[in-house]
Amino acid sequence: MQPINIILGDIVDLEVDAIVNAANPSLLGGGGVDGAIHRAAGPALLASCRGLGGCKTGEVKLTPGFNLTANYIAHTVGPIWRGGHAGEPQLLRSCYLKCLELATRLNLSSIAFPAISTGAYGYPLRQATEIALRTAMGYVEMKGSPEITFVCFDEPLYELYLNTSIRLKQDNRHPDA
């Protein structure tokens, strides 16, 4: 079964088959990781995105990686946090799941995720981290691949991912604990 990696760093530098962009429904760029990916991939990315007709929340659209090391960029749109009773958890889970299903369809061996929706979209870190890790662990348990890397942009998030990952593995070993 492929490992799930947790690293501290900048997603644009990763040498993986696909990196995931936390985009907005227009797919025409923005700040945060979206801005970083567009800057690193170059102007051809925006031209490519213009032809995609946008992306719904919880869905994913694919482009080449252009100037990135990664071959592909999976653009997904996370939910804006509105208090947790507007389907945000299901939509966030869908972002991770649809990117993983796309990786399987394309027979990709590795994919890297940022912490979708936890920046401008305001998703509470603990809840978002739990959804990200549970979805990834469940998928890899079932499918055995791809190799997943969670890229944390700051130390506190990195610590949270590590601690949550340890707790979820213990829960899995002793589910009724």
Interface with ligand APR (CB under 6 A): 10-12, 22-24, 30-36, 78, 114-121, 151, 153, 157
What number of CA atoms fall less than 13 Å from residue 4's CA on the CB side?
22
> Which residues on neighbouring strands pair with residue 61, listed in sequence order?
75
- How does DSSP classify residue 13? G
- How does DSSP classify residue 11? G
* CB neighbour burial string for 1-14, b if at least 16 within 10 angstroms, e if fewer: eeebebeeeebbeb
Give me the least distance between CB of 26 and ligand APR, in Å please: 8
Closest CA to 111 of 120, 102, 119: 102
Give me the least distance between CB of 28 and ligand APR, in Å please: 8
| Cβ closest to ligand APR, residue 64 vs residue 81 | 81
> Which residues on neighbouring strands pair with residue 149, listed in sequence order?
5, 112
Q: Identify the active-site residue in 10, 13, 34, 176.
A: 34
| Cβ closest to ligand APR, residue 155 vs residue 176 | 155
34 in active site: yes
The owner of tokens 């890297």 is 112
| Cβ closest to ligand APR, residue 122 vs residue 144 | 122
Give me the least distance between CB of 120 and ligand APR, in Å please: 4
Cα–Cα distance between 60 and 98 in angstroms, integer?
A: 6
| Cβ closest to ligand APR, residue 54 vs residue 143 | 54
Give me the least distance between CB of 75 and ligand APR, in Å please: 10
Active site residues: 34
